[in-house]
Amino acid sequence: MGRVDGRVALISGAARGMGAEHARVLVDEGASVVIGDVLDDEGAALAAELGGRARYVHLDVREYAQWETAVATSLAAFGRLDILINNAGIVRSAPIDVHPVADWDLVISVNLSGAFYGIRASAEALKASGHGSIINVSSDAGLQGYEQITGYNASKFGLRGLTKNASLDLGRYNVRVNTIHPGLIRTPMIGGLDFPQNHVALHRLGEMSELSSLVLFLASDDSSFSTGAEFVADGGESAGLAHY
Ligand code: NAD
């Protein structure tokens, strides 16, 4: 018996990286998944790998109509939608005094507006589920400042506000809404970046599976009394600086 048997999840940005890992774990635990991304070849390949309980749909999270199509795909293919994971995210780096305005607009539209669009488009289906769970993927950059990632920092803090609001508006329908806050995780987003993590309590990067286990907890009824909350998996990065 899986921990999310019979549940259906829609995951944005799931063609690769952590989103793909979450899809694999949820299917392993009995769920069906709709994989949304702009990387059509990778997304279709992942759906084929996962088999009959997976579908791929082209989903640019900046396009509200594509969210509506993704939700409709979930209902048509699997008859319901229980879990929304707003995972799609991008980062652009530059000091704030020279940060390109277009980069700010792009990062906010993907990371923050995209998550609102996802919640807005899936709210009715999640309410109908009777035990909906929305997981908004923030970051340690949603808890503290980092140099040169102005839009990313602001968007990841913004997801916390969106989460508090949505948890209040949707709680009466037993739809729970939480954020997760990964530290530095070995995914394509960070490329080959593998510098020492001696400033972090656990002194290492995180692995994707270490976030998927948190996502599984929040997606399942194991977290049935948690909403509007922030769940950190960062090796202690936000606890303070390790010096030795
Ligand atoms: P990744 O780059 O491997 O995956 C991100 C996915 O989002 C990609 O498949 C990409 O195609 C997709 N995407 C980008 N723009 C999109 C759009 N407009 N519409 C739909 N999909 C789009 O990155 P990852 O490291 O797996 O990151 C997943 C999430 O975790 C992101 O929100 C990221 O900000 C967050 N995060 C990552 C780290 C880390 O260290 N890797 C740390 C904290 C938070």
> Domain 8-239 has what CATH class?
alpha beta
Residue 242 DSSP SS3: coil
Q: Where are the beta strands (DSSP E) in 59-167?
A: 83-86, 133-137
Residue 1's pLDDT band (boundaries 50, 70, 90)? confident
- Position 196 pLDDT exceeds 90: no
CA of 162 to the centre of ligand 1 (A): 18
Name beta bridge partners: 84.
10, 134
pLDDT of residue 62: 99
Distance of CA 64 to CAs 68, 88, 176, Å?
Answer: 7, 14, 22
pLDDT tens for 153-193 read: 999 999 999 999 999 999 999 999 999 999 999 998 888 77
pLDDT at 244: 81
Q: Which numbered atom of ligand 1 lies nearest the CA of 16? A: 9
Task: For residue 200, name the pLDDT band (cuts at 50, 70, 90).
Answer: very high
Residue 26 near ligand 1, beta carbon < 6 Å: no
Which tens digits make up the pLDDT trace of 84-123?
999 999 999 999 999 999 999 999 999 999 999 999 999 9
The encoded tokens of residue 133 equal 């769970």
Atom of ligand 1 nearest to the CA of 182: 43
Kindly name the residue from 56, 152, 173, 244 that is annotated as catalytic: 152
- As a whole number of angstroms, the distance between CA 92 and CA 88 comes to 14
Structure tokens at 126: 């999640």
φ/ψ (deg, to 5) at 200: -105, 140
The one-character DSSP state at 61 is T
User: Could you confirm whether 152 is annotated as catalytic?
Assistant: yes
pLDDT tens string 3-29: 999 999 999 999 999 999 999 999 999
pLDDT, tens digit (0-9, with 9 covering 90-100), for 24-73: 999 999 999 999 999 999 999 999 999 999 999 999 999 999 999 999 99
Q: Among all chains, which residue has been given the structure tokens 């299917």?
A: 27
Among residues 165, 164, 200, 170, the alpha carbon closest in space to that of 185 is found at 200
Task: Please tell me the distance between residue 19's alpha carbon and the centre of ligand 1 in angstroms.
Answer: 7
For every residue of 15-37, DSSP letters joined together read: SSHHHHHHHHHHHHTT-EEEEEE
Q: What's the mean per-residue pLDDT of the chain?
A: 97
Burial tier of 136 (Cβ tally within 10 Å: 0-12, 13-18, 19+): buried
Mapping DSSP to helix (H, G, I), strand (E, B) and coil, where does residue 94 land? strand
